Structure 1
Amino acid sequence: MNQVEAEKRIETLRSLLEEYGHQYYVLDNPVVSDAEYDRLMQELISLEKQYPDLVTDDSPSMRVGGKPLPHFEKVQHEVPMLSLSNAFNEQELRDFDRRIRQGLEKDHVSYSCELKIDGLAVSLTYEKGKFVRGATRGDGTIGEDITNNLKTVRSIPMRLKETVDLEVRGEAFMPKASFESLNSAKKEAGEEPFANPRNAAAGSLRQLDPKIAAKRNLDIFLYAIGQIKEVKIDSHTEALNYLSKLGFKTNREQKHCGSIEEVLDYIQSWQEKRADLNYDIDGIVIKVDVLKQQERLGFTAKSPRWAIAYKFPAEEVITKLEGIELSIGRTGVVTPTALLSPVTVAGTVVKRASLHNEDLIRQKDIKIGDTVVIKKAGDIIPEVVNVLTDQRTGEEIEFTMPTNCPECESDLVRLEGEVALRCINPKCPAQIREGLIHFVSRNAMNIDGLGEKVIAQLFDKGLVRDVADLYQLNREDLLNLERMGEKSVDNLLNAVEASKENSLERLLFGLGIRFVGAKAAKTLAAHFEIIDELQKATEEELTAINEIGEKMANSIVRYFSKPEVTQLITELQRLGVNTSYKGVKRAEQTVTDSFFADKTVVLTGKLEQLTREEAKTKLEELGAKVTGSVSKNTDLVIAGEAAGSKLDKAEKLGIEVWDEQRLVDEFKNVEQ
């Protein structure tokens, strides 16, 4: 076969494989056997190897996975991929409908309803009908280029049925059968299984080696057009039909509803039969159908006004409460935890649930041996909802909180005004261990590699007894710990060394002084500048500082009055730990011409490009006052993803709202 003949055969094979793949993966209508499909694919791969100059990026052979990448490149979305606001009950949906109808005055409103797939939002870009780029949603403005991984998703067409330029959005997901097969394989290999299909899908698409993604059998539903040229579309329903016509896989369960009553009926029907699907859904997405009406309604800072996501109620399951375990926190608080018969809730196996305190146990009448209802609050934190008292046998055991600490046997006390029991022994091993964990945490000294398990090993072996010991760790001792190889030890020791250069506020927060959080630590560090001055401060001097109250001032003075604390600070200084403030001092600030000077700013929601602490520090350096709550005195709200009630309050009060990208852009302008 010469090159001309090979080129014709390759094109024929590509057309056949594209059509067979579309019938199988998109329409669920196989027209040839798997063996025949595989035979044609092998022939194509063989010819492309023989004639490499005939290989194209949109060939079906590209689905097997290319070479591993060193990292993912960043991609800016020309049209932001905004998140949706949420509704959790019927009244919130009716309020949404009322706002829509008010916004559109007398226009008739209809809605497009779709299943909310529990997966990973992605963007696909096509030029002249060819797939050229795929990206994650990221922060809505900037995502990651995962083109090679998305090429392995067989329901994503490499070439469309028309030569159009467009960008579309969809939800990549892992079908339940693929998830079960993947986890079985991971368990057999002795690896940790994925918690749920969503995590598995996200983890698969963020593999630097596309060959791994290719083995995961992912799927996708396309749900929106981000941009399109030279094609007129009037409604969302029409857009979905057009996507199907182009060869995309859309969800066949989409429904056009003429009223909010029809929307509620649609939601109810899927709450009852969601378990029958071969993929996970966590709610229903409701959109105003007519695109011109969408344009009139517009957007808030974080989401479109014309769409909302109804979230299904948290899944509740029944299990047995087998026991109650007590743990001691770094401040001595005793927390009871329910030990449960393992049960799957919202896609993960739950064995434990916090019971918070003794009063809650009494309030819910919880006994050991009870049959209980549990759920995950916000689909994340397991909690006991209630006890099924009618299933009691009489063998259940009343739980009584101990009078002595389960770790050190010191007396437990309940301080005035508190519901929690505390161990007040400063030498309690549990408190010391938890204090060490707090000291190395991200918002404190941020020592990467010193997680809870490593700290527990170091403490149990007697290698650390206070935070100063962390700066005297021996390499050989670390190599003797479980799962600690030479590279891990080197990285850990480098992280310990780097933490010595932290600014004073991190050290103050890490020391765990009662009532002194990260914000107060920053205020104290900026005011006193060196720890020696803070150690000498009186209560009167402390309360004179804005935001430092009597309770905190008293705690600080009592903490630094202890001889063992003075000894610890001296030892840390001897070991080279910085005890000075490195931030911008008020006297040195020249921010009178900054946009943020003298403004009160609130940060809310999840930030992607900056940490909350980075944003706060920079704002304060530019003269802003960063507070935790929205009021009429607030000048500006920075809203990240899932901003919630603070954003709602800001909009009601008419306060200016920025998204994270605008904040980042303003920071860049200041630096220029």
Structure 2
Amino acid sequence: MSGGIAVETLSEAEARTELARLANEIARANTAYHGEDTPEISDADYDALKARNAAIEAAFPHLKRSDSPSEQVGASPSEAFSKVTHEQRMLSLGNAFDAGEVAEFNARIRRYLGLGPESPLTYTAEPKIDGLSLSLRYENGRLTQAATRGDGQVGENVTANARTIDDIPEEISDAPALLEVRGEVYMSHADFAALNVRQTERGAKTFANPRNAAAGSLRQLDATITQARPLRFFAYAWGALSEPLAETQMGAIDRLEALGFVTNDMTRLCDGPKEMLAHYETIEQARATLGYDIDGVVYKVNDLGLQARLGYRSTTPRWAVAHKFPAELAWTRLEAIDIQVGRTGALSPVARLAPVTVGGVVVSNATLHNEDYIAGRDNKGMEIRDGKDIRVGDWVQVYRAGDVIPKIADVDLAKRPEGAAPYEFPTVCPECGSDATREEGDAIRRCTGGLICPAQAVEKLKHFVSRAAFDIEGLGAKQVEMFHADDILPVREPADIFTLRARDAKNVAKLAKRDGWGETSAGNLFQAIEDKREIEMSRLLFALGIRHVGEIAAQDLARHYQSWEALTFALDTARPAALARRAADEAADAERRAAAEDGRRARVSEARARAFAARDVPDESAAVWDDLIAADGIGPVMALSLSDAFANPDERGAIERLVAELRSILPPETRADDSPVAGKTVVFTGSLEKMTRAEAKARAESLGAKVSGSVSAKTDLLVAGPGAGSKAVKAAELGIETIDEDGWLSLIGDA
């Protein structure tokens, strides 16, 4: 799934395209795994996607997307449960896949802390349970709340269900007044097998694997169903605390066990990578006999004081890593290739497989990425799988590492059926019949139907009502599908949502008379819609579902322009410059192709592309375009996508009809932080003597500052240590305030 093109050979345009594809696939995988308990790709495939995304971002840091998967955790909580905001976020873990990456994890920790190779540094190593993350909140020793991870910030309230699990005590003694215990809900292999036998005898749905069974059981609306399911719980971490559990990770685990929680007896204290890897091998060898699913080993810095110094990245702790097990393999027959159409019109091929058991799990689907992947080549024409294409009827090798949908690793040509024809990728949309085109440099073929394509329209509407967008209570994915297919109260575009009440009244309250609806539910829906006629600008932007514009980018745009009118004026004014930029990019791509044919490597710089694009463009348009792409988090790719959306007559019409239905578009809130550096852009340069550069950056960001790597007119403060060079000179030229490390510590109150 991660693609076969070496990162070092990617052009800038190819890197942009690949990052867009990866963001889409990872977001879909997160929703399927965390939000719906129906994973669509294997752990190994997911890890490969994340690793490739990280590698491309490292090679092309200026192309990092505002909705980058490296900045996201989990998926939005289900609308079926009340929501719980975690007092401390529940984050995911970074991954390591071999001994070298484990050694690099240790080296990275030492560099961050400024520890030499001889300084003592111990870690804990424990099995990584393949279950559902759960946070238990105890107040004065009594269980008051249980919540799933959700998207890391907001989870689902499953307190009633958690109370039915024997491993979760209702009361604990000698505990801190406030204690959040975190761990994993799981199901043993024996209990899973017995549950599926009972499900079969009752004619009910069976489960694909223990993880799905555990997640589905915990997330039941009826707690009596959960009570009848054999769920277990391992405790291994904590969230909010009124007082520390211990001074070390191992000490805290021992304390949790003393309080009555079940902890994993294979957790060990290790003195460095050699002992960590030795225990990894011990756990891997015991994996088949544990009686429950694990997918790796988790290493954590043992000293909690050092954990606090190391802190967190946006989605992962710096002090922990998951060392994942390798994937498993199996052979099966490819029975069909189906095409699914997504929100952006992407045609995604899906392999339908003869069901096969891989590592104890039955799998029957695989994502095939795009037409090049099926044909046995990458999007540069280079062979993958030794050039073997994939045909219906083929015997294919698949692999997984804990989930359902595998990757096709190989094809057995000796078993290919006689007469099997190469797969012809459709050039028209299977949903609406519109042309499906593939732009230069894009690996994906897309439907050109836009809003007339029912698949795109439905997916766009689902996105529009999603939690981070308009978040309309009572209007979820199922209701969107119902209204979109309705002949009496159709919802074909976002504006139609806000005319529902008026149209329903004209149709003599039809909605309240339908199965599953009533006067109360219909009235509640109409009121929920009415409440959203006032919306934050960033939510409106994100809700439009414009390609490349994620939640963070929408916030960046709102902060930059402050009003809807200012944004639309800028996009209209910048349109000539946007078209010139596209022409420049196309010329640059042509130059790269010509260079490749001649055996040369073209080097088309960003500055050169901008200079080319600026030719014959009105000065006002060029200035507005430059301001747009210079905005925090916004670059040429996203700016072009925005410009295209607002210049498209159909899309612009739909947007304007929606805006006409809204009462108010609210500007972003002004930060209320009382930190002296909140909202300021800070640059560090030279050598810092009292903290590492990483610690300084983390501290600044925790106080609400933005840390930049370069000095510009937008820089508010330069912190210069010994050896400061060109940055200090440029700051002086621009009149930017410059202070030394002591001045910085005094400013933030850490002196």
Call closer, same or farther: CA 1:433–1:524 in 2, change over 3 Å. farther
Please report how far the alpha carbon of residue 98 of structure 1 lies from its aligned counterpart in structure 2 after TM superposition: 5.0
Contact 1:104 1:296 in 2 (8 A): no
Answering whether residue 104 of structure 2 is matched by residue 95 of structure 1, we say yes
Find 1:456's aligned residue among 481, 485, 489. 481
Match of 2:130 in 1: 118
Does residue 577 of the first structure (1) align with residue 662 of the second (2)? yes
Match of 2:533 in 1: 500
Does the 8 Å contact 1:298/1:305 carry over to 2?
Answer: no
Q: 1:115 is aligned with what amino acid?
A: P
Report deviation, 1:398: 1.3
Secondary structure of the corresponding residue to residue 529 of structure 1: helix
Cα offsets for 1:172-195 (capped at 9, x unmatched) = 433233344455666777876666
Shift of 1:258: 6.4
Relative to structure 1, the CA distance from residue 181 to residue 532 in structure 2 (aligned partners, 3 Å threshold; closer, same or farther) is same
State the match for 1:543 in structure 2. 625
The residue that corresponds to 1:356 in the other structure is: 369
In structure 2, the partner of 1:274 is 287
Q: TM (normalized to structure 2)?
A: 0.55
Distance 1:227 1:597 in 2: 27
Q: What are the residue-to-residue correspondences of 1:418-497 with 2, within 5 Å?
A: 418-426=442-450, 427-462=452-487, 463-473=490-500, 474-475=503-504, 478=511, 488-497=521-530
Aligned match of 2:187: 174
User: What code does the residue aligned with 2:527 have?
Assistant: N
**How many residue pairs were aligned?**
533
Is contact 1:504-1:531 (8 Å) kept? no
CA apart distance, 1:583: 0.6
Q: Which runs of 5+ in 1 are unaligned?
A: 1-69, 602-618, 637-655, 657-665, 667-672
Of residues 390, 398, 408, the one that matches 2:422 is 398
CA apart distance, 1:434: 3.7
Decide whether the 8 Å contact of 1:298 with 1:304 is kept in 2.
Answer: no
What's the CA shift for 1:298? 5.8
Note the C-alpha offset of 1:584.
4.6
**1:336 equivalenced with 2:336 (yes/no):** no
Q: Alignment identity in percent?
A: 38
In structure 2, how many angstroms separate the alpha carbons of the residues matched to 1:493 and 1:571? 19
Alpha-carbon displacement from aligned partner over 1:293-320 (angstroms, at most 9, x marks no partner): 6656764113777654322234544433
Q: Secondary structure at the match of 2:441?
A: coil
CA distance in 1, matches of 2:359, 2:715: 40
Tell me the residue number matched to 2:565: 529
Which residue of the partner structure matches residue 19 of structure 2? none
| C-alpha contact 2:86 2:155 (8 A) present in aligned 1 | yes
Counterparts in 2 of 1:192 and 1:563: CA distance versus 1, 3 Å:
same
Q: Measure the CA separation in 2 of the matches of 1:114 and 1:145.
A: 27
Amino acid at match of 2:529: V
Partner-residue secondary structure (3-state), 1:268: helix
How big is the shift at 1:411?
3.6
Taking the TM superposition and a 5 Å limit, the aligned residue runs for 1:141-160 are: 152-155=164-167
- Kindly provide the CA deviation profile for residues 632-659 of structure 1, in whole angstroms up to 9, marking residues without a partner as x: 56999xxxxxxxxxxxxxxxxxxx9xxx
| C-alpha distance in structure 2 between counterparts of 1:214 and 1:97, whole Å | 42
In the aligned structure 2, how far is the partner of 1:300 from the partner of 1:180?
42
> Corresponding residue for 2:677?
595
Amino acid corresponding to residue 470 of structure 2 in structure 1: M
Distance 1:439 1:306 in 2: 37
Aligned-pair distance for 1:259?
Answer: 6.5
Q: Does 1:301 align with 2:311?
A: yes
CA contact (8 A) 2:628 2:639 kept: no
Are the equivalent residues in 2 in contact too, given 1:284–1:309 (CA < 8 A)?
Answer: yes
Change (3 A) 1:499 1:152: closer
| Mapped partners of 2:369, 2:246: distance in 1 | 54
- TM-score normalized by the length of structure 1: 0.61
* Aligned match of 1:367: 391
Report the secondary structure of 1:404's partner residue.
coil
CA distance, structure 2, for counterparts of residue 228 and residue 522 of structure 1: 36
Deviation digits for residues 531-563 of structure 1 (CA, Å, limit 9, x no counterpart)? 885786462545254327777777666655666
Q: Is the 8 A contact 2:220 2:226 kept in 1?
A: yes
- Relative distance call for 1:451 and 1:534 in structure 2 (3 A) is farther
Cα shift readout 1:581-637 (whole Å, capped 9, x = no counterpart): 42159xx99999863233379xxxxxxxxxxxxxxxxx9xx9977x9xx7456999x
Q: Based on CA coordinates, which of the two structures has the bigger radius of gyration?
A: 1
Cα RMSD for the two superposed structures: 5.5
Structure 1 counterpart of 2:528, one-letter code: A
Displacement after TM superposition at 1:464 (Å): 3.5
Q: What is the CA deviation profile of residues 39-78 of structure 1, one whole-angstrom value per residue up to 9, with x for unaligned ones? A: xxxxxxxxxxxxxxxxxxxxxxxxxxxxxxx98998968x
- Pair 1:184–1:538, CA change in 2 (3 A): same
CA contact (8 A) 2:247 2:304 kept: no
- Is the 1:71–1:208 contact (alpha carbons within 8 Å) kept by the matching residues of 2? no
User: Equivalents in 1 of 2:533, 2:413: separation in Å?
Assistant: 55
Q: Secondary structure at the match of 1:264?
A: helix
Partner secondary structure for residue 402 of structure 1: coil
Distance 2:166 2:368 in 1: 46
| 1:558-637 equivalences in 2 (<5 Å) | 568=654, 571-572=657-658, 576-578=661-663, 581-584=665-668, 595-599=677-681, 631=709
The one-letter amino acid paired with 2:284 is Q
